Structures are given as structure tokens and as C-alpha cells.
Homo-oligomer: A and B are copies of this chain.
């Protein structure tokens, strides 16, 4: 992410190190701090407790976690245990399984002594590829923004949900990569940032990223997007995703589906930005079959923020005696998606277009 004119990656392995350093996202937006993850357990905890989150970043963190496990014990059984531990941390983002599978495939034929080194190298490759993929997504998304800028002759208003920015990936992000590309290209943009209850990733992470990068934006309650679209205040929606099914259905943060409905009702283009590791060709029907994580009640009943005296405090906002439900994701049917912004270009959200653009991914899963 861009901070005080510098670029800081959400996860990085210091040269030669056997650990990784992450931005601790649970402390944002009021404190910026990093944490070192020095073994697979720490990586699993960081994913489960959401010190890191966002599908691409979850995948990369898991890959490093497996490398650290192999560094401690390169045996097949330790590999299997660590894989199971890391795979169980979060259910919805398919990048997790994809990255773990990639490390396992890399080390499978190697003698134990070579495994950790090869795994770290492969995790490094996953991280570098993530940045390159996101840069390509940024270029393809920029073309959409440029077209709207030319058509309207004014700044382009983009609505996003949750955080699919630099903090959701190694750098740049998916949905925000085109926004950063627009900033670099001098195309004026303004981002409506959905607060994204219950964890407020929009208000706490996306807003923090955009403040840090100096990109004009407005934080809005999740309820607001429909009204804005109804009154012509949004030119384009771009969101990220945790898993895209073979039919183009898109799992993303709970509430994405509602924005896609509003976009359709008001003829606002609704794009989903994704790196190809987020494709899951094994799921034929996303609405029916993508597993939806249910999370703890406290995320809904309590809210954390900064008091007037600068202390970080957590307050209860739901009455005692009221049960809550906390679904982490929903699935937007492909019919509501204008297009998928991938590293290979913008494609239609349907089986044929996805398979044509990513035959390699489909062959592997078939």
C-alpha cells in the first residue's frame, strides 16, 4: 500500500529470512503496526483472527505458513498436518486451497532437506505473481475508467464494497488496482467506500488505504449505495471476490449481492476484479455450492473504535437478549455481473468465457 509516499507490502519476507512480516490489519485504521509470523501456527492464527484477510493475501500467507512448517519439519506427515491446519482457517476464499496445493506440488518430489527452501521460493513466486497479476488487473480496469471519463468529461465515481485493495493482497489489490492505475494516469476518480458491516473493512481498511494514497473518497453506510445509483451518483462498481464459480457466480463480502442488484436496476456497470487463483472451476453453481462462512456473534454485537481520549475501546451495540446472525459472504449471480476484470483482460461472467480465458485452470480441475 501507499503510505507517506512509500510502498509497503501487506506481507513480505525479509531477504534470506525464514519468517514473514505482515501489516497487522486488526489495528487499523487508528494504529499502523506490523507483526512477524515465525511459524505455521502463527500464520494460521493470523489468517483465522484476520490480522491478514482478503483472498489473495490469505493465499500468500498460507503459502508462507506451509514453508515455515517445512522449515521446522520437512516430513510428509508434518506437511500434511500443516496443510490441514492452514486449510481450516477460513472456508470461503479458494485462494487458500490453491496456494497450499501449489506448495505441496512444488515440494512433493523433493528430498526433505530441499523442501523448505523450495517452498519459500515458491511462496515468494506466489507473492510476486500476485503483484504482477494485480498490476495487469489495474491496466485492464483503467481502460474502463478512462472510457467513462471520456464519455462524461468529469471525474469518475466508483463504488466499492469491503476491502479489495492493497491490504487484501500483497500489493495494489484487485478492485482498487484500477483506482491506483487511474491515480497514476492522472484520471480523476472518487471512490464511494461501503462501510461493510459487521467488520467495517471499508471504513477501516479501504478508507485508510485511500487516505494514505491521497485518493478522494467518501465513506458511506452499506445502506446508501442504492440511493446513490438511483440518482446517477455512481458511474461504476468494482468489487473483489473470494471465489468465482465455473458459471461466473461470485462470492464476496456479505452485501455485495445487494449492490449488484442496485447496479442492475440503475444500469450502472458492475465489475468484479479477480486474479485467476480466485477461480474455482470445481464449483459448477456458485449460489448453490460455494460454502459461506458464518462468523462469531461479537462482530455484530460489538464495535471497536477510538474514544475522544484516543483509547481504543469496544462497545456493545445490540441489546442483551437479542441473538444475531453473521454470514461472512454472499454470492452474486453471474447474471448481475457486467464483467470480470482479470489479469488476462475483461471477460464475461459465464462458463464459456472463463474457460476460454483460463483453459489451464479448467484443465487442472477437470
Which residues of A are in contact with B by a Cβ distance under 8 Å? 29-30, 192-193, 195-198, 200, 203-204, 207-208, 210-211, 217-228, 230, 253-255, 257-259, 261-262, 265, 287, 292, 300-308, 313-327, 329-331
Contact = CB atoms under 8 A, between A and B. Distances in A.
In the A-B complex, the 7 residue pairs with the smallest Cβ-Cβ separation, listed nearest first, are A223-B255, A305-B315, A29-B319, A227-B330, A261-B261, A197-B221, A305-B317
| A198, A203, A221, A308 interface centre (most CB from chain B within 10 Å) | A221
Nearest to A223: B255
Contacts of A315: 303-307, 313, 315
A300 B230 contact: no
Contact of A326 (B204, B207, B221, B324): B221
Contacts of A219: 300-301, 318, 322-325
Of A192, A257, A304, chain B has the most CB atoms within 10 Å of the CB of A257
Contacts of A230: 257, 287, 330-331
A193 to B, nearest CB: 8
Given A226-B261, A317-B200, A322-B210, A221 B305 contact: no
Q: Specify the main secondary structure of chain A where it touches its partner.
A: mixed
Contacts of A217: 322-323
Contacts of A306: 315-316
B221 A300 contact: yes
Nearest to A199: B221
B211 A223 contact: no
Contacts of A203: 317-319, 322
A198 B221 contact: yes
Given A210-B322, A230-B331, A315-B315, A196 B220 contact: no
A361 to B, nearest CB: 26
A224 B198 CA distance: 10
A254 B221 CA distance: 9
A336 to B, nearest CB: 9
Contacts of A257: 226-227, 230, 262
